[in-house]
Amino acid sequence: MSSTDILMKPLVSVLQMLRNRVISTEELLHRTYTRINETKSLNAFVSVVEKNDNLEFCIKDDRSSILKGIPFAVKDNFSTRNISTTCASNMLRNYVPTYSATVVKKLTDAGGTLMGKTNLDEFAMGVGTVDSIIGPTRNPWQYDFQHPNPDDWYIAGGSSGGSAVAVATGASYFALGSDTGGSVRLPASFCGVVGLKPTYGSLSRHGLISLVNSMDVPGILARCVDDVVFIYNILSGNDPRDSTTVQGKVEKVVIEENPSVKDLVVGIPKQYHGPDVSPEIIDCWKWAADIFSNNGAKVVEVSLPHTQYSIVCYHVLCCGEVASNMARYDGLQYGHRSDGGFTEEMYAKSRNEGFNESVRGRITAGNYFLLRRNYRKYYEKAQKVRRLIQTDIKKVFDKGSGKNSGVDVLLAPVTVSTAPQYKTFAQKTNSYRTVEHDIYTQSANMAGVPAISVPVRLSQAKLPISLQLLASNFNEGTLLRAAKFLENASSFQHPKFDF
Secondary element (H or E) of residue 275: none
Asked whether the bond before 159 is cis by omega within 30 degrees of 0, the reply is yes
- What pLDDT was estimated at residue 2? 60
Helix axes 11-19, 25-38, angle to 10 degrees: 140
Per mean pLDDT, which range of 83-97, 100-114, 428-442 is the poorest?
A: 428-442
- What pLDDT was estimated at residue 179? 98
**Active-site residue, selected from the candidate residues 68, 75, 117, 197:** 75
pTM of the model: 0.96
**Active-site residue, selected from the candidate residues 89, 159, 202, 443:** 159
Q: Which of 103, 66, 319, 85 is nearest to 196 (CA)?
A: 103
Bridge partners, residue 223, by sequence: none
Examine the pLDDT at 435 and tell me if it is beyond 90: no
Told to judge if 252 belongs to the known catalytic residues of this protein, a careful annotator would answer no
Q: What is the mean pLDDT of the chain?
A: 94
Task: List pLDDT tens digits, range 207-239.
Answer: 999 999 999 999 999 999 999 999 999 999 999
User: What is the SS3 assignment for 10-60?
Assistant: CHHHHHHHHHCCCCCHHHHHHHHHHHHHHCHHHCCEEEECCHHHHHHHHHH
- What pLDDT was estimated at residue 3? 56
Q: Which of 83, 81, 85 is nearest to 119 (CA)?
A: 85
The DSSP output letter for 344 is H
- What pLDDT was estimated at residue 436? 81
**Active-site residue, selected from the candidate residues 89, 163, 172, 183:** 183
Average pLDDT on 10-19 reads 94
Task: List pLDDT tens digits, range 252-285.
Answer: 999 999 999 999 999 999 999 988 899 999 999 9
Examine the pLDDT at 340 and tell me if it is beyond 80: no
98 CB-near residues (< 8 Å, 6+ apart): 81, 82
- What pLDDT was estimated at residue 313? 97
Contact (Cβ atoms closer than 8 angstroms) between residue 367 and residue 373: no
Report the 10 Å Cβ neighbour count for 394.
14
Examine the pLDDT at 195 and tell me if it is beyond 70: yes
The DSSP output letter for 177 is E
246 CB-near residues (< 8 Å, 6+ apart): 199, 201, 202, 237, 238, 474
Residue 54: pLDDT band with limits 50, 70, 90 = confident
Contact (Cβ atoms closer than 8 angstroms) between residue 133 and residue 234: no
Examine the pLDDT at 1 and tell me if it is beyond 60: no
Task: List pLDDT tens digits, range 366-403.
Answer: 999 999 999 999 999 999 999 999 999 999 999 875 66
Q: What's the maximum distance between 2 C-alpha atoms anywhere in the chain?
A: 71
Options 1.20.120.530, 3.90.1300.10, 2.30.110.10, 3.40.50.150; CATH of 3-262+421-428+449-490: 3.90.1300.10
Examine the pLDDT at 62 and tell me if it is beyond 70: no
The dihedral built from the CA positions of residue 356, 359, 361 and 367, taken in this order, carries a sign that is: negative
Helices (H), 176-219: 185-191
Average pLDDT on 49-74 reads 81
Told to judge if 303 belongs to the known catalytic residues of this protein, a careful annotator would answer no
- What pLDDT was estimated at residue 39? 97
Examine the pLDDT at 431 and tell me if it is beyond 90: no
- What pLDDT was estimated at residue 256? 96
Bridge partners, residue 194, by sequence: 222
Which comes out higher in pLDDT, residue 3 or 139?
139
Task: List pLDDT tens digits, range 37-51.
Answer: 999 999 999 999 998
In Å, how far from its chain's centre is CA 166?
13
Residue 103: pLDDT band with limits 50, 70, 90 = very high
Examine the pLDDT at 404 and tell me if it is beyond 80: no
- What pLDDT was estimated at residue 401? 56
Told to judge if 293 belongs to the known catalytic residues of this protein, a careful annotator would answer no
Task: List pLDDT tens digits, range 113-134.
Answer: 999 999 999 999 999 999 999 9
Residue 461: pLDDT band with limits 50, 70, 90 = very high
